[in-house]
Structure 1
Amino acid sequence: MIGSGLGLGAGFLFKTGPEANTSVIGLGGLRSDNGSRAAAAIVRLASPDNRWQIKAFAGKADVIYELYTGLGAVPVRQESRLARINAAFGFTSELSAGIVLRYLETVLSPEGGLQPPSLQPGTRLEIGTAGFSFDWDRRDDSDYPTEGTRMAAVATRSRTLGSLGRSYERGIATFDGYRPFGARSSLAVRGTVCAASSGTPFFDQCSIGATDNMRGFNSTKHLGLRMVSLQAEYRQRFSQRWGGVVFAGTGRTGNRFADLAQDGSRSAAGAGVRYRVSKKFPVDFSIDISRSNERETQLYIYVGQRF
């Protein structure tokens, strides 16, 4: 999406109690050969009894990428500063709800070529977002689950700040399910539904690849006000350190749920390797390769699982 480059990150993982989910403090940065660069920090804290869950993110980026529009692929430069926090309270050990707050400052400008009306040079937006989160988590582990289910939903309302402010809404719901097959293998599935109101900027619309974490597609290629997708992944541990996965997924986007069948499905499949970077926490360094039904190949390098 942004060319070839280098990303570096560091994270400190710890538990506040024996039954608590893993807490993380992390820093990261990247730079690519097309001039894109970014830096970010994350904090994810869980109280000893998991009663409180706090997730915070702050970052800045200056990236150049292609936005797919009716005029074709348009090179776009986007400079952004983002801060987001989600604070949730657990009513039981499995069920929690919370608030979501976000501030985004972004400047969009085409990098030459055709210019869509929505991307005039120097387009600057300040957006404030508030909403609610819901989480019903019955997984056996928050880092590498092999059994159980998780249902999560986030509903937000955003408003552009300034004299000509306008509002838009978005809701995302996900269902994750896990089933073990013996001591070293498991099956993971994810279903995602997304809906956004008219007037939502393209970077907040429903996206195959960004909204649902599906592998195989550029996250700015298949956007819409509605989206559904389904993914499955088979996970196998070969030893204490090494593992592998095979996966597949399919999704659809459109401006209405009734339109989802018109443009056809976007499907992809692939395989990956896992290397466990910690003896204390089941956290993997992951490398995946995916091939889509559009005959495009994508390589993914990250820490953890996609879902």
Structure 2
Amino acid sequence: MQKIVPFIILFFCCSLAWTQTKSTDSSATAKPKVKNIDFNVMPYLNYNRTLEFMFGAIPMMMYKVNKADTISPKSLSGISAVYSTNKSYFIASFNKWYLKEDSWRAQLFIATGNQNAQFYVDDIDVPAFYDYGTKASMVNFILQRKVIKSLYAGIGYAYAHYDTKYEDDIEPSSITHTNGLQFNLMYDTRDAVYYPTKGDKIKLRWLNDPKWLGNDVTANKILSEYNTYFPMRHGTDVLAARFSGKFGLGNIAFEQQVTIGNEDIRGYSEGKYRGDGLMALQGEYRYNFNKRMGLVGFAGVATIYGSDTESFNWGLYPGAGVGYRYRAFKTEKFNIGLDAAVGKGDWGLYFRIGEAF
């Protein structure tokens, strides 16, 4: 699913937000009650080296599925609609639900769009970037159940359909669809799911695309991550660290390959370094100078394998940058923001809904 870049990039300084509250009877003596839903609408404006200028809107809300449940974190639902000046567009719905005193967790992601991007080809007379366009639709659902304290196990289903055409017929046009089963484990000791200040999150996912589920070939991906958090400055700031590993096994389609960039190593937006698998290490310091605002500084290094360009395999690709954060909801520590980063001969801007990890 690495084919589609983040759907939502925000210019938070001009965000429009409000909190819905219940009206109260003037004759009542009880304190006004706050409504269950905290709702934001944000404009979307950014620039990407591949997609160029992007603009759109992101309405989203945080809420309790069950008001009587005081243990579960608030759930999150939103819609993003984005158009770029290179004629790409994305429409997506994203949802995270926390249920039954956090005994159940579920995620649903639905998206459709047309991405006009580029990839690097070196097995020709003049190595260069070539454009391609992909019309894509996807659905991803995950359900998890708490097994014991802090340990969740779950299953999921992922469907994707890609229709890809390449510039100058550098590659044959292709139509690919995948039906995948997911099995996952997660160990979560974080003190908060949206802005942790201490604890760990360890995730392991196995994605299997078997032939009997309608796939042309069998493919497997193993996705792993380890995030850890340390409170700093008497709990005002946070030092965060992350390891990420994405391992493609078998026949990995072009659209299913990974590229260096996004949340793993920021600073790469050209899509040059592409392969079947990736490993990355990074650290980030989150400095909060105000109750509603903060800055971050981050650095890391990544490597890939399975690239069609042999010289890219197992190289080291560093990235570093800084970012701004703004608290989007009054009742929940949930940040939105913008990061700027540089990499090896590349750079990128990244909108954040929530933290990078």
TM-score, normalising length from structure 1?
Answer: 0.91
Superposition map of 1:148-187 within 5 A: 148-159=199-210, 165-181=216-232, 182-187=234-239
Matching of residue 299 in structure 1 with residue 354 in structure 2 = no
Q: Is 2:164 the counterpart of 1:113?
A: no
- Checking the alignment, whether the CA contact within 8 Å between 1:67 and 1:220 is kept in structure 2 is yes
Contact 2:265–2:318 at 8 Å: present in 1 too?
Answer: no
CA distance in 1, matches of 2:87, 2:185: 38
1:32 aligns with 2:81: no
Check the 8 A contact 2:179/2:215 in 1, yes or no.
Answer: no
Structure-2 change in CA distance of 1:22 and 1:103 (3 Å): same
**Which of 130, 143, 168 matches 1:87?**
143
The 5-angstrom pairing of residues 210-225 of structure 1 reads 210=262, 212-218=263-269, 220-225=271-276
Distance, in Å, in 1 between the alignment partners of 2:120 and 2:81 is 26
Counting only pairs closer than 5 Å after superposition, residues 184-195 of structure 1 correspond to structure 2 as: 184-195=236-247
Give the deviation of 1:205 after TM superposition. 2.2
Please, which moves more after superposition, 216-225 or 20-29? 216-225
Distance in 1 of aligned mates of 2:188 and 2:215? 40
Letter in 2 for 1:186: V
- State the partner residue of 1:286: 337
Distance (Å, rounded) in 1 between the aligned partners of 2:227 and 2:237: 17
* Larger deviation, residues 201-210 vs 94-103: 201-210
Summarize the Cα distance change of 1:163–1:205 in structure 2 as closer, same or farther, 3 Å threshold: closer
Per the TM alignment, residue 287 of structure 1 is displaced from its structure 2 partner at its CA by: 1.1
Query: Paired residue for 2:278?
Result: 227
Deviation at 1:93, TM superposition (A): 3.5
Is the 8 Å Cα contact of residues 134 and 154 (structure 1) preserved in structure 2?
A: yes
Q: Cα distance, 1:264 vs. partner?
A: 2.1
Alpha carbons of 1:194 and 1:164: their partners in 2 closer, same or farther (altered >3 Å)?
closer
1:239 aligns with 2:295: no
Q: Secondary structure at the match of 1:300?
A: strand
Confirm whether residue 252 of structure 1 aligns to residue 307 of structure 2: no
Residue aligning to 1:13: 62
Post-superposition CA distance 1:111-135 (Å, at most 9, x none)? x23613xxx13x1112101120110
Q: Does the Cα contact within 8 Å between 1:185 and 1:236 map onto a contact in 2?
A: yes
1:127–1:160: 8 Å Cα contact kept in structure 2?
no
CA distance in 1: counterparts of 2:144 and 2:278, whole angstroms: 26
Higher relative contact order (CA 8 A, sep 6+): 2
**What displacement does 1:206 show?**
3.4
Specify the alignment match of 1:78 in structure 2.
Answer: 134
Distance of 1:219 and 1:20 partners within structure 2? 40
- Once the two structures are TM-superposed, the CA of residue 95 in structure 1 deviates from its matched residue by 0.5
Seq. identity, %: 21
Q: Unaligned stretches of 5+ in structure 2? A: 1-49
Equivalent pair of 1:126/1:161 in contact (CA under 8 Å): no
Task: Mark the CA change 1:163 to 1:172 in structure 2 (over 3 Å): closer, same or farther.
Answer: closer
Q: Specify the SS of the correspondent of 2:255.
A: helix
**TM-score, normalising length: structure 2:** 0.78
Amino acid paired to 2:203: A
| Coordinate RMSD, CA, aligned | 2.2
Distance 1:260 1:173 in 2: 25
Describe the superposition over 1:255-307 as per-residue Cα deviations: whole angstroms up to 9, x where unpaired: 39xx999642111111111111211011112111101132x221112221000
Structure 1: 4+ residue segments shifted above 6 A? 160-164
Check 1:293–1:241 CA distance in 2 against 1; reply closer, same or farther (3 A cut).
same
Larger radius of gyration: 2
CA contact (8 A) 1:22 1:142 kept: no
Amino acid at match of 1:168: A
Distance 1:178 1:106 in 2: 37
Residue 206 of structure 2 contacts residue 223 of structure 2 at CA under 8 Å; is this kept in 1?
yes
**Aligned AA (1:113):** D
**Partner of residue 2, structure 1:** 51
Equivalenced residues, count: 298
* Corresponding letter in the other structure for 2:168: G
Cα distance change, pair 264–213 in 1 and its aligned pair in 2 (3 A): closer
